[in-house]
Amino acid sequence: MICPSCHAEIDSSTETKPGLIAYISGFIIALCGCWCGCCLIPCCVDECMDVHHVCPNCKAYLGRFKR
Ligand SMILES: [Zn+2]
């Protein structure tokens, strides 16, 4: 992609961080146990992970995208 800040052709470095919801749902899943937790885990993990993109050249913050 092209960096909007320095216009260099970059391969943006990504940083995946779980959002707050991921922690909360993880806590709820732990409380509920496996009987209902197992079916919730796959949908929660994908929806709760935020991917932060940063330009490796000028360190500009490019944005946060859902995978
Ligand atoms: Zn840049």
Find the helix or strand (DSSP H, E) in which 65 lies: strand 61-66
Single-letter residue type at 10:
I
CA of 23 to the centre of ligand 1 (A): 32
pLDDT mean across residues, the chain = 75
Residues of the chain with pLDDT under 50: none
- Whole-number Å distance, alpha carbon 6 to ligand 1 midpoint, is 4
Q: 37: CA distance to ligand 1 center in Å?
A: 41
Q: So what's the pLDDT on residue 6?
A: 93
Question: Which residue carries 């943006």 as its tokens?
Answer: 12
Query: In which order are the strands placed within the sheet that holds 49-54?
Result: 13-18, 49-54, 61-66
If you measure from the C-alpha of residue 63 to the centroid of ligand 1, how many angstroms do you get, rounded to a whole number?
Answer: 12
> What is residue 33's predicted lDDT score, i.e. its pLDDT?
67
Determine the pLDDT at residue 66. Answer: 62
- Tell me the CA–centroid distance for residue 60 and ligand 1, in Å: 6
